[in-house]
Each structure stands twice: as C-alpha cells, then as structure tokens.
Amino acid sequence: MTSLPSAPTPRRTRVSLLRLGVLLLTVGLTGWFGFQAISAVALGPAKPGPSTFSGYVDVTATPSYAFETPDGPAQSDVTLAFVVSDTQDPCVPSWGAYYSLDSAAADLELDRRVRQLREVGGDVRVSFGGQANSELAVGCTDPDGLLDAYRSVVERYSLTTIDLDIEGGALDDTASIARRAVAIATLQDERLADDGLAVWLTLPVGPTGLTAAGEQVVSQMLAAGVDLAGVNGMTMNLGVPTTASQPQSDVIIDSATALHDQVSALHEQVGISLTETQAWGKVGITPMIGQNDIPNERFTLADAAIVNQFARDTGVGLVSMWSLNRDGTCTAPLPSVLTVVQTSCSGVDQGGQLFAEALAVDLPSSSAGVTSGESPAPVASPPAAPATPQVVDDPETSPYPIWDPLGTYPAGTKIVWRQQVYEAKFWTSGFAPDSAVANAADSPWSLLGPVLPGDTPAPLPTLPEGSYPQWDEEEVYTAGSRVQLGLVPYEAKWWTQGIEPGVSVEGGTPWVLVMPAR
C-alpha cells in the first residue's frame, strides 16, 4: 500500500542461528508436518476472533489524520502504518524511515494520541512493512536485533495485534521471510503470559488469490509455529478495469474467495484442519478506496456496500481500507474526481458519505464502545472530565505552556489545559480548550491527548535578540507591553513592576508567554 509508556520488559528469548537453520531445513520435510498434525489434534486449531473493521492510517502523511478523536465506531480501531527499518541502522524501527519511535512521540505526538484513542474506547494496531522502504526483517539480518526491534514496537504501544504488510521485493526475499517467521513466533510465545499477540499477514491478491510468493510467506509463518490470526488480502490495483457491468467489488469477492481456499489448504498442509467458518475468519479484505493506482480502476461507495454485505454473509475476519487519511472528496484546488491517487482524499465524489462507515456497517468491533458523537466533547476532548479545582496543571511537569485566558495562540501552538494537550487550529485568544461548541470544527483547538507520565516541559519559545526590550525590574509595564527575558518573549496582562516574567506569584503572574507564529 502506498505509505505510552513502555510496559515492563518481559523475559527476553534470544533467537539463535541454529534455530534459523533448523527452520530452513525443516520447512520442506514431511516428517515435520506429521508432528504438526499431532500438535493440531492435541491443541485444536486456533479459534478465529470476531470480524472487525480496522482502517489503515498513514502516520507520516501530511496533513496529519486525527485518528485520536474518532468520529464513531468505524474510525475507532485503526491500523497505524508503517514501521520500517531506519535508514542508518536497519535493526532500529522507524516510522516510514522518517521518525524514530522517540521522535514520533516528540514531533507527531504519537504516544499521546494512541493513549487518547484508547481513553475514548478505541484501539490501535501497528503495521510493519508496506510498499516503500525496507520491512524490518529485510533490513535487519541479525536475528537477535530483529526480535528486539519487533518487541520494542509491541511494548511501546502496548499492542495486542500487529500487521505484517509484505509486498514488492520483500515477497521474494527468502532469507528475510525465514528471519521474520522465527522472530514473530518467538515474540508471540513471549506475549502468551500477557494479553497475547494476534498476527495478521497482509499480502497482494488477485482473482486467483495469493501469488506463489505470497503462499510461501504464509507457509513459512505456519512452519515456524506462528498462530496466524489471518491473511489480509490487498484487494486493490487488480488489473481489471472498473465498468458499470463489472464493478471492482465483483473482482474483490473473487479474490477473497480464492484467498479463503488457499488459507484453508495452507493450514491443512501443516496438519491444521479449518472449518469453513474458521477459514473465513482468517480472511481479510483491504481495498484502496476511490481511485486506485491504475487510472481505470475505482472502488466506489456502491462497491463498499457490496463488500460489507459479503463480509457479513461469510464471516470474514477483517475488513480494512487504504486509508482513513483518504476518506473524503477532494477539495479545491483539486477537482473532486481524479485519475491520480492522492494521499488526503479519495479521488471520487463521495457526496458527504464515508467509505469507513459503508465498509464497517454491522461488523462487530473491538471498539464497539465508541459511538458517533461520543468522541471527546464537542471539541474532541475526553468525555466529561469535570472542571474541578482538583485538576491542576503543574508548569514543572507540563510538556507545554499552560493555557492562559489572556494569552494569544497562533495556529500550531501546543498548550496544556486540565491535564490534556491541545493544539491551536488557527489563531485564538480567550477561548478555553474544553469549551463546549455546537460543532467540533468550530473550536480553535484540537485535542492531542493526556499529559503522560514522564512528560517534561518543552523549551520555552524564543525570538531573536532585540525583538523586544529586555525586562527591567525598575520599569513600569502596562497591559500589552512586550519584553524579553533572555530570548524568551512575554507580554504584560496588566500593570506591573518588579515581577519577573516566568516566576509564579500569588494571585497569578502578570506575564504571559508570546507564542511566535509558525
């Protein structure tokens, strides 16, 4: 597809080169499959979970998609994409090769936003790989380093489900396929004592199902002992033009049906017999909404309704889409209908409807507690945290300046108010971030999420020396006077003399930070 505080570290199981060699040797041995058949009889096949809808979010795309404040159930379970190898150190995970996990927390507020989504009843999965860059197992050839990389992502975001999106050259990289299988099997074993770890494989499909290379990826995972939650077919760019007589949904259904048969057969090869219901529960369907990469292929809202009905009729385990970032009609200066793929709109006229809602209709969700209109307050704040004196913001631990009713805040300014972090959507002053409004879009503030344990104050804003006079304790300042203390700019809220900017005083400081425009 086109692009929390850490939990206690569990016992680390190291992957040896011997284990990797044994895997490569045993994949093709029939005696091994006989052992698997005995294991399957003893343990029984894994019971598939309920069908869910989990749309992809391109984490590094701009403009950023606010997954942390979902509109309703259809947007409340998201798959964040993509974690790949860092370009400088391939055994270090990064978001899109642009952000380390730490820089994503700082620059994208990713940890905070994940926490916020969970606070309103949603959840996140993380997808590794994708069409661009190098999936971790491709870039990292050290088995121990690879396991550490996967583990660090799972622990940082407290994940119970991950997605492995294997496409392009990664499909033919047999060494990386083996490394990945061993690492994921080990990681899944480690997580058994916690909440477990569901693993989905996302692979390209066509009307005849998986390619031979895709089948090998599934086989290798099963051979390594990975308990696959399912195989998610990328039902997009199928090479079949969309016409009135042959909509894309017809080809998608053919592809999903072929994938179902392959999933059943591949499990049978390792001695795991699946019923029809169980096999369908291990099938995922992920279309590219609207305009596909191929100019004459489009996935319409009518297609979405048909795919949704098919998923409900068969008990498909997962329905997704690429991507929630694109779920809207393109606006000026772009035309509403396009034949070139955009990252922030679908390229088709949606008439005010959403693909996510059409695809998710009546599908059981792991985030069923979120309902439309229940996302954080009218301004997308967490549900009804009462404005009580007990909610005190401490400037010593707040990651951003605390909101001041007399402050002025240009677009992009981040502040803290009642233990929540907000960002200004446009210039604002005097409007409390948690004020009720009839329409969330009317609020100048976007909620990013709660203040997290371990947060420390961000550096104060600065302006070049000489932008304003230096503060002088002998000088009298009236409301609106601006000064600098060092390079930090302040504005007087009322008459003051002798009170240093930035120092807390009884009754409230007479100074407010000047937030430079971005």
Residue 182 lies in a domain: yes
pLDDT in tens, 490-517: 999 999 999 999 888 888 899 999 999 8
Residue 8 lies in a domain: no
- Cβ neighbour number for residue 70 with a 10 Å cutoff: 27
- Report pLDDT for 51: 59
> What span, in angstroms and rounded, lies between the C-alpha atoms of 512 and 490?
5
Residue 344 lies in a domain: no
- Report pLDDT for 22: 38
Say if residue 118 is in the same domain as residue 190. Answer: yes
Say if residue 441 is in the same domain as residue 465. Answer: no
> What span, in angstroms and rounded, lies between the C-alpha atoms of 297 and 32?
44
Residue 7 lies in a domain: no
CATH code of the domain containing 110: 3.20.20.80
Q: Which amino acid is at 47?
A: K
Nearest CA among 274, 270, 225 for reference residue 31:
270
Judge whether 374 counts as a catalytic residue: no
Per-residue CA distances from 275 to 45, 46, 47, 271 (Å) = 10, 11, 10, 13
CATH code of the domain containing 438: 2.10.10.20
Cα angle 39, 41, 47 (rounded to 5 degrees) comes to: 95
pLDDT in tens, 100-121: 999 999 999 999 999 999 999 9
Please, what's the b/e burial string for 472-508 (b: 16 or more CB within 10 A of its CB; e: otherwise)? eeeeebeeebbbbbeebbbbbbeebeeeebeeeeeee
Per-residue CA distances from 273 to 50, 256, 266, 411 (Å) = 19, 19, 10, 57
Residue 494 lies in a domain: yes
Active-site choice (155, 167, 215, 423): 167
Say if residue 383 is in the same domain as residue 494. Answer: no
Say if residue 429 is in the same domain as residue 467. Answer: no
Question: How many structural domains comprise the chain?
Answer: 3
Q: What is the DSSP string of 294-318?
A: STT-EE-HHHHHHHHHHHHHHT-SE
Residue 333 lies in a domain: no
In which domain, by residue range, is 429 found? Answer: 376-458
Please, what's the b/e burial string for 447-465 (b: 16 or more CB within 10 A of its CB; e: otherwise)? bbbbbbeebeeeeeeeeee
Say if residue 114 is in the same domain as residue 231. Answer: yes
Tokens found for residue 379: 């301004």
Say if residue 475 is in the same domain as residue 426. Answer: no
Any idea which residue has 């008459």 for tokens? 495
Say if residue 435 is in the same domain as residue 472. Answer: no
Query: Could you report how far apart the first and last alpha carbons of the chain are, in Å?
Result: 32
Helix, coil or strand: residue 449: strand
Tokens found for residue 456: 């420390």
Say if residue 412 is in the same domain as residue 494. Answer: no
Low-confidence ranges of the chain (pLDDT < 70): 2-51, 365-390
Chain mean position to CA 434: 25
> What span, in angstroms and rounded, lies between the C-alpha atoms of 253 and 287?
11
> What span, in angstroms and rounded, lies between the C-alpha atoms of 120 and 396?
27
Say if residue 104 is in the same domain as residue 79. Answer: yes
Say if residue 302 is in the same domain as residue 187. Answer: yes
Q: How does DSSP classify residue 427?
A: -
Say if residue 39 is in the same domain as residue 63. Answer: yes
